[in-house]
Amino acid sequence: MQGKLYLVATPIGNLEDITLRALKVLEKVDIVAAEDTRNTLKLLNHFGLSKKLITYHRHNEEIKKDELINYMKNGKSIALVSDAGTPCISDPGEEIVKEAIKEEIEIVPIPGACALITALITSGLECKEFCFIGFLPLNKKNRKEKLQEIRQERKTIILYEAPHKLKNTLEDLKDILKDRQIVLAKELSKIHESYKRGTADDLLKGLEQEIKGEFVIVIEGEKEQVIPTNEEILNELTLEKHYEYYENKGLEKKDIIKRIAKDRNVTKNEIYKYFIKNDEL
Which residues contact ligand SAM (rule: CB under 6 A)? 12-13, 82, 84-86, 89-91, 114-116, 160-162, 185, 187-190, 214-216
For the CB of residue 149, give the shortest distance to ligand SAM in the complex, in Å.
Answer: 19
Query: Which position's Cβ is nearest ligand SAM?
Result: 85
Least distance to ligand SAM from the beta carbon of 206, Å? 17
Minimum CB distance to ligand SAM smaller for 90 or for 148: 90
Closer to ligand SAM at the Cβ: 143 or 190?
A: 190
DSSP bridge partners of 281: none
Q: 64-84: buried (b, 16+ CB within 10 Å) or exposed (e) per residue?
A: bbeebbebbeeebbbbbbbbb
Least distance CB 11 / ligand SAM (angstroms): 8
Q: Determine phi and psi for 253, rounding to 5 degrees.
A: -50, -50
Q: How far is the CB of 103 from ligand SAM (least distance, A)?
A: 24
Instruction: In whole angstroms, give the CA distance from residue 176 to residue 159.
Output: 15
Measured from the CB atom, the residue of 157 and 256 that comes closer to ligand SAM is: 157
Smaller CB distance to ligand SAM: residue 119 or 260? 119
Say if residue 201 is exposed, middle or buried (CB neighbours under 10 Å; 0-12, 13-18, 19+): middle
**One-letter amino acid for residue 208 of the chain:** E
- Cα 167 to chain centroid, rounded: 18
* Sign, CA torsion 35/140/230/241: negative
| 113 contacts 9 by C-beta, under 8 angstroms | yes
Report, in Å, the least distance between residue 263 CB and ligand SAM: 32
Q: Output 113 or 257, the one with its CB closest to ligand SAM.
A: 113
